Structure 1
Amino acid sequence: MRPRKFTLPFRFVTACTAAALFTTHLSAQEDKAQRDAAAKEMTTRTAADTTGKLWTKGGVANINLTQVSLTNWAAGGFNSIGGVAMFNGFANRHGAKTEWANSMVLAFGGQLLANQGESFDNGSPLKTEDRIELNTKWGRELKKPWYFAALGQFRTQFTEGFPGDPATTRRISNFLAPGYLITGIGFDYRPNDHFSAFVSPATMKLVIVNDPYLWQGITDPETRLYGVKNGNTTEFELGGYIRAQYQTEISKNFTFLTRGDLFCNYLRNPQNIDVTWETLWTLKVNKWFGATLNTLLLYDHDISVPKVRTDESTGAKVSYMGKGTQFKEVLGIGLTFNL
């Protein structure tokens, strides 16, 4: 007797196949949902981990005080009290394809002199340091280490300045007199975190002299003060600009920074290059005390500085205003805070 062949009903096979496909689809959806949730969690965690690392910030603040008191001092001299406060800081943002660097320099200092036996109420205040400088530079990576970049800089001082004793000399500078605003676009070379060089063939420089008192006694309309013509408050310049900066940690408590600027005005006397070169050495002795050495060299053909020459006929010293290189050195030993 031939055995009977066993066959499944068509409807049963169809139902089982549909159930298997539906179960597989649900499983695939669950796997995809789990993968998406894991990816989202990873992205959130990564963003949380790196957000705090996008910015690098730092700086140094220094406060130095000096005081001299003389009583019946046979060799002569003055009683004095003075000090200098300086802040040099930065905040830089590092993106995947962008770099944004910001820096600030603030400094102010002075001293008060008084004759022996007299109070400082009758003393002559003398300014020894006065500076405001703000810098910002944004760049987008073209091909490492080159960036397309835009730069901005603002420079001025806090208060009025005199060539000597304020009681006997007239004011020659003030807040926004002069003031400098520089903006430019160009290319930034950043091979590492220590060095950068910005080159711009098209940079705008606005010179501001916003103190009419500085023009007193000057009647010639062609006379310039800090590059600004008599009767005006601003002077527009267009030129090429180069700015380079290098900073490093020489040892654990010893850092060095230097930066330099070159500007050539296409519109007037392009052969005269404006030069700014600054260095800052910082030595940390302990948590609270340290030393800083700051130097600043300037040359601007539009700025006249006090000079002295010898009269050939009389041999006397004659004071006059002329072109020259400016140099300032500030050594500070006192309270130092690394930020």
Structure 2
Amino acid sequence: MKRILLTITLLISANTIFSQETDKDRLKRTEEAVDKLKEEKPNGWSKKGTFTLLANQASFTNWQAGGQSNISGNIGLNYDINYKSDNWTWDNKLISNYGLSKNSGQELVKTDDRIEFNSILGKKAKGYWYYSAFFNFRTQFDSGFDPKNLNVKISHFFSPAYFQIGPGMLWKKSDDFKFNIAPLTSRLIVVHPHFTEFGSSFGVERGDSSRFEFGASFIGYYKFKLMENITAENILSLYTNYLEDPQNVDLDYTLNIVMKINKTLSTNIAFQTIYDDNAFRGFQIREVIGLGVNFGF
């Protein structure tokens, strides 16, 4: 009798352990499936965008330590239109920003100005790799002035305007992690003739209105979570001109950090650095920090 009871107890224990292990395995498989569904989007078109308004203000009245009242604002649009099928991918991104700042007793000053459109078409090769063709366009909304003399205009809408196009290879793990290499890239820089009347402008020679370059391009995109409610978006663009000073690589890097407070409000930090020796022999740096109001659509 004791042997029978012991046998029954062991069988019940084994069945319990087996059931627990099976439940764990099932739970693990379910979690993996959910994660996979989050990463994999259905075939077809997908659209998403964010409109952001950033604002900053500083006010001083009889402040003995010194200080100057100022107010600044920045609006931005980040919009994606993407297509996906089993063998094709087509990613399109529009980025635009415009900002103004006003110090007490002074005129309005532009602090940010950018229009950029990126389009990458890819056909499945193997794994995460695609044969690709890309197009990039950059310009600005408003006039720009010489920092040393605000009466001298040095740029305006579509002057300069940059166009890049070329074939290459795209590595894409997801919409948030990808890069494109294009070793045969054509680049065109366009400026209005009045900016080259007395000298070169943005690499365009005196008396000309455009400059053609041929070289290699690298574009990378990586967006990830730093922690809960905090995301970091990295956008890197590199270009080298085979026809002139190929060792001088043009660089454009942007870091956007968004710290969500709730569905609408967030604290936004934007950092951008540009190196383009045709425009300026040194690093151009832009930093924007502010409370953001975000509208998704």
TM over 0.5: yes
State how 1:318-329 maps to structure 2 within 5 Å: 323-329=281-287
What is the CA-CA distance between 1:230 and the residue it aligns to? Answer: 0.6
CA apart distance, 1:281: 1.2
Indicate if the aligned counterparts of 1:59 and 1:338 stay in contact, CA closer than 8 A.
yes
**2:239 is the alignment partner of 1:263:** yes
Structure 2 residue 176 is matched with structure 1 residue 200: no
What residue is the counterpart of 1:183 in the other structure?
Answer: 165
Please say if 1:336 is aligned against 2:294.
yes
CA contact (8 A) 1:62 1:292 kept: no
CA distance in 2, matches of 1:334, 1:257: 16
- 1:246 aligned to which of 204, 222, 229: 222
Displacement after TM superposition at 1:171 (Å): 1.1
Aligned residue number for residue 32 of structure 1 = none
Q: Give 1 or 2: higher strand fraction.
A: 2
* Cα pair 2:232 2:258 within 8 Å, conserved: yes
Describe the shift of the 1:72–1:295 C-alpha distance in structure 2 as closer, same or farther (beyond 3 A): closer
The reply on whether 1:88 has 2:78 as its aligned counterpart is yes
1:72-123 deviation per Cα after TM superposition (whole angstroms, max 9, x unaligned): 55565544333111122222211121001011111001122333xxxxxxx4
Unaligned runs of at least 5 residues, structure 2: 1-40
Distance 1:285 1:265, change over 3 A: same
Q: Is the 8 A contact 1:284 1:336 kept in 2?
A: no
- Give CA deviations for 1:163-187 in whole Å, capped at 9, x if unaligned: 3487x53112211221101111111
Q: Is the 8 A contact 1:150 1:186 kept in 2?
A: yes
Change in Cα spacing, 1:211 to 1:332, as seen in structure 2 (3 Å) is: farther
Letter in 2 for 1:325: F
My pick for the range that moved more, 243-252 or 80-89, is 243-252
The 8 Å contact of residues 177 and 211 in structure 1, kept in 2 or not, is answered as no
1:225 aligns with 2:201: yes
Paired AA for residue 329 in structure 1: E
SS of 1:292's partner is strand
Candidates 254, 257, 271, aligned match of 1:278: 254
The DSSP-based 3-state class of the residue aligned with 1:134 is strand
Equivalent of 2:277 in 282, 296, 301: 301
Compute the TM-score of the two structures, normalised by the length of structure 1.
0.70
- Cα separation, partners in 2 of 1:93 and 1:249, compared to 1, 3 Å: farther
3-state SS of the aligned residue for 2:145?
coil
| Structure 1 residues 1-339: aligned runs within 5 Å | 54-71=44-61, 77-115=67-105, 123-164=106-147, 168-210=150-192, 212=194, 214-215=195-196, 218=198, 223-304=199-280, 323-339=281-297
Is the 8 Å Cα contact of residues 152 and 184 (structure 1) preserved in structure 2? yes
1:248 Cα offset (Å): 2.3
Given that 2:240 and 2:249 are in contact with CA atoms closer than 8 Å, whether structure 1 keeps it comes out as: yes
The one-letter amino acid paired with 2:272 is L
Distance in 1 (CA, whole Å) between partners of 2:175 and 2:156 is 36
Partner of 2:13 in structure 1? none
Query: How far did residue 336 of structure 1 move?
Result: 2.1
Tell me the CA shift for residue 231 of structure 1.
Answer: 0.6
The CA deviation string for residues 206-230 of structure 1, in whole angstroms up to 9 with x for no partner, is 0011251x345x2xxxx53111001
Aligned-partner SS, 1:224: coil
* Greater radius of gyration (CA): 1
Indicate the RMSD between aligned Cα atoms, in angstroms.
2.3
Please report how far the alpha carbon of residue 197 of structure 1 lies from its aligned counterpart in structure 2 after TM superposition.
1.7
- Aligned in 2, Cα 1:68/1:291: closer, same or farther, shift over 3 Å? closer
* Native 8 Å contact 2:90 2:122 kept in 1: yes
Q: Report if aligned partners of 2:196, 2:204 keep a CA contact under 8 Å in 1.
A: no
CA distance in 2, matches of 1:70, 1:195: 45
TM-score when normalising by structure 2: 0.79
Q: Distance in 2 between matches of 1:265 and 1:293?
A: 32
Instruction: Return closer, same or farther for 1:337/1:249 CA change in 2, 3 Å cut-off.
Output: farther
One-letter code aligned to 1:296:
Q
Q: How far apart are residue 252 of structure 1 and its match?
A: 4.9
Deviations 1:131-190 (A, max 9, x none): 111111110112222111110111111011123487x53112211221101111111112
